[in-house]
Structure 1
Amino acid sequence: MGDMNRLVKNRRGFYVKMRFFKTKNEKNGKPFLVRYFKWVLWFSLSFYFFGKFLNGHEPSTSGLKTTMVNHSHRALSESVVVREDKDDHGLLNDLKVYVYELPSKYNSDWLSNERCSNHLFASEVAIHKALTKSDFRTFDPTEADFYFVPVYVSCNFSTVNGFPAIGHARALLSSAVELISSELPFWKRSNGSDHVFVASHDYGACFHAMEDRAMADGIPEFMKNSIILQTFGVKYQHPCQNAESVVIPPYISPKSVQSTLSKMPIDGRRDIFAFFRGKMEVHPKNVSGRFYSKRVRTEILRKYGNDRRFYLKRHRFPGYQSEIVRSVFCLCPLGWAPWSPRLVESVALGCVPVIIADGIRLPFESTVPWSNISLTVRENDVAKIGHVLDHVAATNLSAIQRNLWDPQIRRALLFHDDVETGDATWEVLVALSTKLGRSHRRSRFSANG
């Protein structure tokens, strides 16, 4: 391309610098097609690279800067696209996280059981894994904004019922804090306020599945000054959120979602009107004397068990995601705690979640437009669910589904092995970036002017 100057590239993108007029050294009388070809070539290249530029700049939910790019795009453009968008909070774009390298008994030893990294509490594993390989990780603790404490406490599965037994959680976490505070100065320097834990259990850092016991035990004193990433969250005062917290989604394997959608597309045929599969007790007061799901699931079964529009199943089925992707509405009633993995599964598979959990705080509410993609029914209004769903189906169902099927929403609720722009670990980093007032490094810089 003799009439084209060089293709200039930089970290913000690229531009093509062209000559628009003939120079004094250019011969007159060149064939018209030659000059015309230059213009066609120039416009083609401009539109091609501009299209690539737009594809690399999808709308961002954060103000963090990243240099992560798709390798195939890098091969085409030989450039790295850098995000420098800032949201309303004026996020700083050089967030740094130090990940403690603890002895294996605190984390990797638990991975000998493959369920540890795949069950609904496995965000503690996923976040650790993603941060370890992230560009936001620093190996120099003196330059870190936050310190991540990777302790897995939900992988001790009961031999009786197979559920995670977390009675050891407090002791294991306390031991980890004692270790990091004795070997490095950063915990004591801030009293743990810039340290981050994951508590992905029913009642978060209260570490008990029964609410009354969880509330009585409360959050361990040594964690109350720290930041807790937890699935539990409510919009009212509760002892199990008496610490700085970020509500995160429960873990659902992105590979399982991808596998299901490869067989049945998200916009495919949905022949199930309302779906629920899970624990529904005929007599809700169990042997512990407690009412599971505050009787909500039992009332659903009683009211709609014989309604042919409702596909209600009480027993587990390994391939149940194939039922979700066939369903229009997915019931998401509370269990012991308000949140449920069905929140993520229904969104990821394009089924409108019907949330039945009074006062629940949902994951990443500043990013995920829950009011535009889900329905909320009060626990006392379970008997009205049929009427609510009929009304939505007859009015604005299509609009809700269009919002729900946005791939960016699905991405925001799924944890990947590597941090991906807009995925769940990315959203955790966004949330942390709004808490930089806790960063000792930032406060030091501010003090120095």
Structure 2
Amino acid sequence: MSLDIKRPISNKTKKKTGFIVNMQQLNHNNRGGNNLFIVFFRHYYRWILWFFLSLYFFTSYFAGDQSTTITTTSLISNHKTSLSLPSHALIESSAIVKPAHTSISSGMKIYVYDLPARFNADWVMSSDRCASHLFAAEVAIHRALLSDSNVRTLDPEEADFFFVPVYVSCNFSTANGFPSLSHARSLISSAVDFISESYPFWNRTRGSDHVFVASHDFGACFHAMEDMAIEAGIPEFMKKSIILQTFGVNYKHPCQEAEHVVIPPYIPPESVQRATNKAPANRRRDIWAFFRGKMEVNPKNISGRYYSKGVRTAILKKYGGRRRFHLNRHRFAGYREEILRSVFCLCPLGWAPWSPRLVESAVLGCVPIVIADGIQLPFSETVRWPEISLTVAEKDVRNLRKILEHVTATNLSTIQRNLREPAFKRALLYNVPMTEGDATWHILDALSRKLDRSYRRSRVLSQ
């Protein structure tokens, strides 16, 4: 039996259209049955056609609904220009990704060790700067945890993590006014000796559920010079613990060879508020590209290396004196007001990849221009940095003007709009007491994803 599907010849009198199915069989005695089928089809083809069309649209609707994808965003680097643009600023969508779970803690509890004053309180008493300088995250996190009755527990037996509050960034005895880290290893080692002798919790896990803060240039390597930090490495007794550190890179590095969370440097929220209050309501951003800070004219430092890998020197030589670039090597107490006047704020690496300018510029609405190859930015799992900053490769710094002009002509207004989101600003600032969505809140959120290190929970699961 053969099956032919043919479109019928049009009938001018009845003007009916449709498909006629002709069944050609070798046995001609069955033509009567064929005629009955044709008569049936001619009378009811409209109903048959309506049924199949309805079925088609019904299934198409649900198939399309399930395969709907999220609206795509465009990268600046996708624009065809004569430059290879290293920027990663996105065109649209929110800069904050809400965590998947509704409660950041998931019932998580943290026990804060009550250490002798020589490990923390004495340092604050000896210097007003201890709680307010760029390394002061160690103080702010400690205070925020003490003020949080939901996460903090006074019973160490129900704790998932143990916070060790040692302030190692407050030794301002140096001639240049920067804190010395020469005592950091011995101070933390002494604190570990104290808790391991006074409590049973360190010894049972060798510190894997214990949390430290290392808010210095190269984190728990405790040195401001990278080569010496690498040579010293992370102290052995800390390698099993969780380190909250400002240092982070997306490649293998000896100073992050421990479980860690990359956190923002400390900027006093009140200083941000003061700068904002001083600015006029109808302020204009009349500075196009801004940087104030250490820039070496002769870039060789005492170790024979180049400060900032020569990046800041290249910026100064190329753009110093240019009308659209406001570059200054000297300190100025009101430089946050300058940030409020600026469109782009340059954030080149210094001794380490990260810089407090990253936070200052972002929370004051100036687009951060990150110039530090391989840097890992704070809370990168929840804060979509590419939508509120630009990344420029160190080798492309001499093309900086053209890169910024391209951004100005394309999606600058969108980046600035993303920067104005209150949730983003909250994520980079530490508050006491902690507020939902602030820097300490995001740290707790990151720790809640490491609950597999909780001794208490592992015991519950094994029972």
Calculate the TM-score normalised by the size of structure 2.
Answer: 0.77
Q: How far apart are residue 158 of structure 1 and its match?
A: 3.2
Distance (whole Å) between structure 2 residues aligned to residue 239 and residue 159 of structure 1: 27
- Which one-letter code corresponds to 1:318 in the other structure? A
Matches within 5 A, 1:152-301: 152-264=167-279, 268-301=283-316
Q: CA offsets, 1:138-178, max 9 Å, x none? A: 00000000000000001001331111100000000000001
Is residue 105 of structure 1 aligned with residue 118 of structure 2?
Answer: yes
Aligned to 1:302: 317
Q: How far apart are residue 92 of structure 1 and its match?
A: 5.6
Aligned to 2:144: 130
Match of 1:424 among 418, 424, 439: 439
Distance (whole Å) between structure 2 residues aligned to residue 392 and residue 60 of structure 1: 24
Which one scores higher on RCO, CA 8 angstroms, separation ≥ 6?
A: 2
Q: CA offsets, 1:168-199, max 9 Å, x none? A: 00000000001000111000111100000000
Match of 2:461 among 443, 446, 449: 446
Note if contact 2:144-2:434 (Cα within 8 Å) is conserved in structure 1.
yes
| Partner secondary structure for residue 130 of structure 1 | helix
Gaps of 5+ in 1: 1-58, 65-84
Is residue 61 of structure 1 aligned with residue 76 of structure 2?
Answer: no
- Which one-letter code corresponds to 1:117 in the other structure? A
Distance (whole Å) between structure 2 residues aligned to residue 159 and residue 95 of structure 1: 40
Q: CA offsets, 1:245-297, max 9 Å, x none? A: 00000000000001111222798410000000000010100233221100000
| Partner secondary structure for residue 98 of structure 1 | strand
Distance (whole Å) between structure 2 residues aligned to residue 288 and residue 384 of structure 1: 29
Q: Quote the sequence identity (%).
A: 65
Gaps of 5+ in 2: 1-95
- Which one-letter code corresponds to 1:353 in the other structure? P
Match of 1:390 among 400, 405, 412: 405
| Partner secondary structure for residue 222 of structure 1 | helix
Q: How far apart are residue 445 of structure 1 and its match?
A: 1.4
The ranges of structure 1 where at least 4 consecutive aligned residues each deviate by more than 3 angstroms after the TM superposition are 265-268
- Which one-letter code corresponds to 1:423 in the other structure? D
Match of 2:108 among 73, 95, 120: 95
Distance (whole Å) between structure 2 residues aligned to residue 92 and residue 288 of structure 1: 45
Distance (whole Å) between structure 2 residues aligned to residue 409 and residue 276 of structure 1: 22
Note if contact 1:131-1:137 (Cα within 8 Å) is conserved in structure 2.
yes
The structure-2 alpha-carbon separation of the partners of 1:196 and 1:393, relative to structure 1 and needing over 3 Å to count, comes to: same
| Partner secondary structure for residue 364 of structure 1 | coil
Note if contact 1:215-1:240 (Cα within 8 Å) is conserved in structure 2.
yes
- Which one-letter code corresponds to 1:153 in the other structure? V
CA RMSD of aligned residues (A): 1.4
Distance (whole Å) between structure 2 residues aligned to residue 242 and residue 204 of structure 1: 10
Distance (whole Å) between structure 1 residues aligned to residue 370 and residue 298 of structure 2: 22
| Partner secondary structure for residue 332 of structure 2 | coil
Calculate the TM-score normalised by the size of structure 1.
Answer: 0.80
The structure-2 alpha-carbon separation of the partners of 1:403 and 1:267, relative to structure 1 and needing over 3 Å to count, comes to: farther
